[in-house]
Structure 1
Amino acid sequence: MFENVIVRRPARSMVEGITSAPELGRPDYTLALKQHEAYCEALRRCGVAVTVLEPLEAYPDSCFVEDTAVITRKGAIITNPGAPSRRGEAAEMLPVIRGFFPEERIFSIGAPGTLEGGDVMMVGDHFYVGRSARTNREGIAQFLAILEGMGLSGSEVPLEHVLHLKTGINYIERETMLVSGEFVDRADFASFRRIVVPEEEAYAANCIWVNDRVIVPEGYPRLEAKVRQAGYSVLTVDTSEYRKLDGGLSCLSLRF
């Protein structure tokens, strides 16, 4: 169960954020703020305390706090984002993490290693980490060594098409994963119950489990129905403006 969530309000500069889908248009900042507020309210309905950080105008993508740290039950790992324009974001997150963990339980990924939290999927005490354009072999090696030192485990998952691991697969507890695209038949996850995301709703693979509820992006009815049919209580939140920046539900928070 989660007790805390950290989020950061989007900066006005978010309209200049990184995107692989310029055809979706630039984000509407006013709408993005409203969607962020609704996201925070959904999290509170799940029974967690939400820490809301101030915007960072110098970092257009800084609302995607998940990429700046990985938080385990044993401690926190400050990342080193692979996107050069985002590397200062992790340093901004460090003092916030110090408010939750003592210094001896905070670790970090150092250059030349890169790692973004969107490539890390927690399944109990095991962490799957995607090797992507943003997370390299050295970053993964450092990450796995830190996990081992904590008494936790991890394994690498090479990615073929998606930006981040959790773009295409997400664990929603109860030995269940949402899978899409390249992950539908991946052997790494064969032992789990898998809910296949309809191809036309692939974006919705990025759902989050928070204290026995699953938050699903609004506007993806087929996947929402599948999650409900699997026995979960569902909340929906519109993330249309974050999708324009390759972002989804998990990207917007650190949950622990």
Structure 2
Amino acid sequence: MAGVRPYGRFTHAVVRGVPGSFGKTAAEGDAAGDAQTDLAKAQRQFGVLTGALRQKVGLQLIEIPPDPELPESWRIEDVAVIQGETALVTRPWKQQRRSEAEAVRRVLSELNLTVVEMGDEEGGSAGATLEGSDVLFTGREFFVGISSHTNHRGAEVLADTFRDFAVSTVPVYGGTRLKNVCSMGGPDTIIISSSEGAKKTLKMMEQLTDHHYDVLTVPEDAAANCIYIRGPSQVDYLLHPPADECPNSAAAFQKLTDYTLLPTACSEAVKLGGALSSFCLLINRKPQL
């Protein structure tokens, strides 16, 4: 398949700083529900995550400055789906969030990726909404969660963009996003929450795929979102919520004995429906000749 590279191999991470408006929504700057967030703590957690990606895993970090006018822009995962040399710039469900893509688009272009736009509301993708936190790429195929943020038309646009891969849609229960209840823990392993909604989603994924995946079940939803990276010297890294955030899941992660485990706090993001992966876009760039 064109553009396919070993799963989990990344060279760059694009992140966007936590703005002073963290905890507000993109719609009129209102507070995000009843969540009581701690800005300083969120910024510290962001710093630890980016430090781990740069210093421990060895990725080249590209940081877009925070923008207080875009309170949800720290959720950079939502605005692009990247595979190989192609980046699909998505259309978030909230109209107010769509301008978040401008700075991300510039960075992706500077990295010489082929940038594909979902298009204008009046074009062929009219009515499509797609957020990257609803997209799980396994290395073999895409699963797209149909949620309050992502619809079937958005999944169709993704399938049209990445034609080398099968794209299956699965329901997301409980008003969350797909990657709030599952993530990849390696080339053949899906990490998934033990909640009833997550079990239903996993059952659908298993019915739709032609591939076999091992499953690592964790008791807490927040623990199901991890970041797997195949690092230099064939080291498997797994960034995951720490025991003080997800105490019941600590034993499950210890089963990954061949991994370098990097506990990384994300509790402030979780309060707003985010997760570890919300903070970054991972990219694998070929060496330039």
Normalised by the length of structure 2, the TM-score is 0.81
Task: Measure the CA separation in 2 of the matches of 1:133 and 1:221.
Answer: 29
Higher percent of residues as helix: 1
Letter paired with 1:5: A
Matched, 1:189 2:206: yes
Q: Is the 8 A contact 2:138 2:187 kept in 1?
A: no
Q: Is the 8 A contact 1:5 1:253 kept in 2?
A: yes
Matched, 1:107 2:116: yes
1:120-135 matches, cutoff 5 A = 120-135=135-150
Q: Identity over the aligned pairs, expressed in percent?
A: 29
Shift of 1:187: 3.8
Partner of 1:5: 13
Matched, 1:206 2:221: no
Work out which of the residue numbers 176, 196, 200 in structure 1 matches 2:189: 176
Partner of 2:241: 217
Matched, 1:248 2:261: no
Number of aligned pairs?
249
Q: Is the 8 A contact 1:118 1:165 kept in 2?
A: yes
Matched, 1:28 2:38: yes
Secondary structure in 1 matching 2:62: strand
Check 1:99–1:70 CA distance in 2 against 1; reply closer, same or farther (3 A cut): same
Partner of 1:92: 103
RMSD over aligned Cα, in angstroms? 1.9
1:36-75 matches, cutoff 5 A = 36-44=46-54, 45-75=56-86
Secondary structure in 2 matching 1:98: helix
Q: Spell out, residue by residue over 1:212-233, the C-alpha distance to the aligned partner (whole angstroms, 9 max, x if none).
A: 1111112223323212213322
Task: Measure the CA separation in 2 of the matches of 1:224 and 1:43.
Answer: 21
Shift of 1:21: 7.5
Q: Is the 8 A contact 2:223 2:240 kept in 1?
A: yes
Partner of 2:266: 239
Q: Spell out, residue by residue over 1:139-180, the C-alpha distance to the aligned partner (whole angstroms, 9 max, x if none).
A: 1111111111xx233211122224211011111114111112
Provide structure 1 residue ranges, at least 5 long, that are not aligned to the other structure.
none
Matched, 1:157 2:167: no
Normalised by the length of structure 1, the TM-score is 0.90
Secondary structure in 1 matching 2:162: helix
Provide structure 2 residue ranges, at least 5 long, that are not aligned to the other structure.
1-8, 122-126, 231-235, 284-289
Q: Is the 8 A contact 1:76 1:101 kept in 2?
A: no
Secondary structure in 1 matching 2:61: strand
Task: Measure the CA separation in 2 of the matches of 1:53 and 1:23.
Answer: 28
Letter paired with 1:206: N
Task: Measure the CA separation in 2 of the matches of 1:160 and 1:244.
Answer: 18
Q: Spell out, residue by residue over 1:35-68, the C-alpha distance to the aligned partner (whole angstroms, 9 max, x if none).
A: 1110101112112111111001111010110001
